[in-house]
Amino acid sequence: MAIGLQKWLYGPQVDGSILNQRLGVEPSDLNDGKPNGLGLADATYISWLMRSAVREVARHFPTAIISGRSRDKVYEFVKLDEVYYAGSHGMDIMGPPLHVKSYDGKYQINTLDDKGNEITIFQPAKEYLPTIQKLLQELRERTCGIPGTLVEDNRFCISVHYRNVLDQDYGMLEDIIRDVVSEYPNIFHLTRGKKVLEIRPSIKWNKGDALVYLLDTLGFSDSTNVLPFYLGDDKTDEDAFKVLRSRGHGYPIIVSSVPRETSASYSLRDPSEVLSFLIRLARWGDAFP
Ligand SMILES: O=P(O)(O)OC[C@H]1O[C@H](O[C@H]2O[C@H](CO)[C@@H](O)[C@H](O)[C@H]2O)[C@H](O)[C@@H](O)[C@@H]1O
């Protein structure tokens, strides 16, 4: 899901009621003529309106997208050069150039992007890659007989989707996954998402750590005139909400149409409200060039 890291100089106080206020953009505007799914997380595309809104926000405020999907995949459907990307639940970060090795240098590469801009790639689970490839192959081989199973390569983690698996087959699928993961005790572990089981390297690194990394490398670690926003709809976004909460500075915003237990302090109901919020944020940014 998306985060907007906002350099907050001065301006209106943003509270829950403003966040939930509509700006006259209706969901039907967002669909691009495609069925189901409007958001960054639950769709494999984003609408041109959402893309434009993210671009506009990024023109004013440093913005990053932190996702469970692989970084390449997220870039492929967001296609914005104006934002930073962190894929694999934050284990693959393309961030601003970093000349000081404040993070473990062996996981960090300073390089150039396609446009010749300096960037830093930070991959704290780098040494797991060959084993992840082995795991991926084994999972694909052992689950191919279970109709509806989708094994997704997210580079530093593997998602096994079971949304289309028959109820009576689910137990067998979970047993296979557990069996494969148990071959690598303390190296990989299993987490659960929406109709998806995810296999992740057992390192202490999540979306919250990625958020802290991005804030640090953008030079926003303890600045008092910086107010980060983080928007997310997934269980794994809770780690980032917690980071903002513990800093006591920033806006953790959950996107959910139903009440949920969360560490976020604010909420938006759905992608149409996210869009409204982003448009409003960008307009507000226009006022302070
Ligand atoms: O971190 P996010 O960007 O919020 O991504 C979380 C997961 O997103 C994808 O799964 C979600 O979309 C699927 C349909 O595209 C849906 O079937 C699933 O239930 C959703 O969780 C992605 O495929 C996963 O790898 C991500 O972890």
Residue 253 Cβ < 6 Å to ligand 1: no
Tell me the C-alpha distance between 51 and 46, whole Å: 6
Q: Are residues 62 and 18 part of one domain? A: yes
Q: Are residues 256 and 175 part of one domain? A: no
Distance between Cα 42 and ligand 1 center (Å): 6
Residue closest via CA to ligand 1's atom 7 equals 68
Euclidean distance between the first and final Cα of the chain, in Å? 26
Domain that holds residue 54: 2-124+204-286
Q: Are residues 104 and 227 part of one domain? A: yes
Q: How many domains does the chain have?
A: 2
Do strands 84-87 and 63-66 pair parallel, antiparallel, or not at all (unpaired)? parallel
Closest to 284 (Cα-Cα) out of 3, 9, 2, 68: 9
Distance between Cα 194 and ligand 1 center (Å): 7
Do strands 108-112 and 118-122 pair parallel, antiparallel, or not at all (unpaired)? antiparallel
Q: Are residues 157 and 170 part of one domain? A: yes
Tell me the C-alpha distance between 130 and 19, whole Å: 44
Residue 271 Cβ < 6 Å to ligand 1: no
Distances (CA, A) of 48 to 33, 78, 258, 276: 11, 9, 26, 14
Tell me the C-alpha distance between 231 and 282, whole Å: 15
Residue closest via CA to ligand 1's atom 12 equals 42
Starting at the edge strand found earlier in the chain, the sheet holding 158-161 runs 150-153, 158-161, 196-201, 188-193
Distance between Cα 284 and ligand 1 center (Å): 31
The residue from 177, 201, 225 where one domain ends is 201
- Residue in 196, 200, 236, 274 to alter for ligand 1 test, most ligand atoms within 8 A of Cβ: 196
The residue from 164, 185, 201 where one domain ends is 201
Residue 158 Cβ < 6 Å to ligand 1: no
132: CATH? 3.30.70.1020
Q: Are residues 8 and 94 part of one domain? A: yes
Closest ligand 1 atom to Cα of 154: 25
Q: Are residues 117 and 31 part of one domain? A: yes
**Helix/strand/coil for 196:** strand
Q: Are residues 268 and 216 part of one domain? A: yes
ipTM for the predicted complex:
0.95
Q: Are residues 178 and 88 part of one domain? A: no
Distance between Cα 195 and ligand 1 center (Å): 9
Q: Are residues 67 and 22 part of one domain? A: yes
Distance between Cα 111 and ligand 1 center (Å): 29
Q: Where are the alpha helices (DSSP H) in the chain?
A: 16-19, 48-60, 71-78, 129-143, 167-182, 207-217, 238-247, 271-286
Q: Are residues 95 and 10 part of one domain? A: yes
The residue from 201, 221, 249 where one domain ends is 201
Six-digit token string for 256? 């959910």
Distance between Cα 41 and ligand 1 center (Å): 6
Q: Are residues 188 and 217 part of one domain? A: no
Residue 148 Cβ < 6 Å to ligand 1: no
Six-digit token string for 264? 């976020």
This prediction has a pTM of 0.84
pLDDT in tens, the chain (289 residues): 444 443 332 222 233 223 322 222 333 333 333 322 223 334 457 899 999 999 999 999 999 999 999 999 999 989 999 999 999 999 999 988 876 666 777 888 888 888 888 889 999 999 999 999 999 999 999 999 999 999 999 999 999 999 999 999 999 999 999 999 999 999 999 999 889 999 999 999 999 999 999 999 898 887 677 899 999 999 999 999 999 999 888 999 999 999 999 999 999 999 999 999 999 999 999 887 6
Tell me the C-alpha distance between 73 and 44, whole Å: 9
Q: Are residues 138 and 188 part of one domain? A: yes
248: CATH? 3.40.50.1000
